[in-house]
Copies of this chain bind each other. A is one copy, B any other.
Amino acid sequence: MRIARFSTGEGVSFGVVEGGPGEEFVSAISGHPFGQVQFTGERHPLSQVKLLAPMLPSKVVAIGRNYAEHARELGNDVPDEPLIFMKPSTSVIGHGESIAYPTTLSHRVDFEGELAVVIGRLCREVPVERVKDVVFGYTCANDVTARDLQKRDVQFTRAKGFDTFCPLGPWIRTDLDPGDLALTTTVNGEVRQSGRTSQLVHDIPALVAYVSAVMTLIPGDVILTGTPAGVGPIEIGDEVSVGIEGIGTLTNKVVARD
């Protein structure tokens, strides 16, 4: 299933997306999508609703240096254990919303296309073999990063924490084997990252086990699994897309922060 969150002008709902590219429609469900989905009967062409971030997570935990070639391109070693950091919930935006370039604070903002895991159950200390039971689904993410501030601060929080620096979407795919999916990031249509999730240094079961050994995870929480090689800058006016096989494509324009 593909689960979206959307607004119609009359309110915000979760819904199930069906149909092929360009012909999708969305069937609204009542309440949240965890557990048994209940349809309201309301149904819209996807083109006539506004997609929102598919989840409002209580927390976004992200993983650094989890593709070997990307670690190397920034001059870093691959860590023995997952390198975790957080992005604030206020950084989350959806497909079609704009990334706001904080021009007064940074002069180098990079895209980082990533596979995101959405948690479906309250859990802690999840063993690797039980991780599939706590994952709700997968979506595309862009771990937007002010690279100049990241280098200066050492801690990643400011560089990766600006409002709009965590695009998620366009929806959550729930029935998917995430083990070997193609991930492609384009800027203005030009391919900049082309990786496969089979290249993850620490795979999804390992990541969820690792993070949940530290902190309780709540339904809707998001784990970003790291970015493949090819990261680079985005500029005002650019359109950046993160596409993942079996999920869809998350597209955001870059604007100057007002």
Contact = CB atoms under 8 A, between A and B. Distances in A.
Interface of A: 58-59, 61, 64, 81, 83-86, 88-91, 102, 105, 124, 153-158, 161-163, 213-218
A161 B163 CA distance: 22
Question: Which secondary structure dominates chain A's binding surface?
Answer: loop
A58 B169 CA distance: 21
A215 to B, nearest CB: 5
Contacts of A156: 155
B83 A153 contact: yes
B158 A84 contact: yes
Contact of A105 (B83, B91, B102, B213): B213
A216 B83 contact: no
A120 to B, nearest CB: 16
A215 B88 CA distance: 8
Contacts of A124: 163
A90 B163 contact: no
Contacts of A58: 58, 89-90
A143 to B, nearest CB: 14
A163 B213 contact: no
A85 B87 CA distance: 10
A85 B155 contact: yes
A25 B153 CA distance: 45
Given A83-B155, A155-B64, A155-B156, A161 B214 contact: yes
A158 to B, nearest CB: 5
A89 B220 CA distance: 14
Of A90, A156, A216, the most chain B CB neighbours within 10 A belong to A90
Given A81-B153, A86-B157, 15 more contacts: A58-B89, A59-B90, A64-B155, A83-B155, A84-B155, A84-B158, A84-B161, A88-B215, A90-B215, A90-B217, A105-B214, A124-B163, A161-B215, A162-B215, A163-B216
A88 B83 CA distance: 16
Of A61, A81, A105, A155, the most chain B CB neighbours within 10 A belong to A155
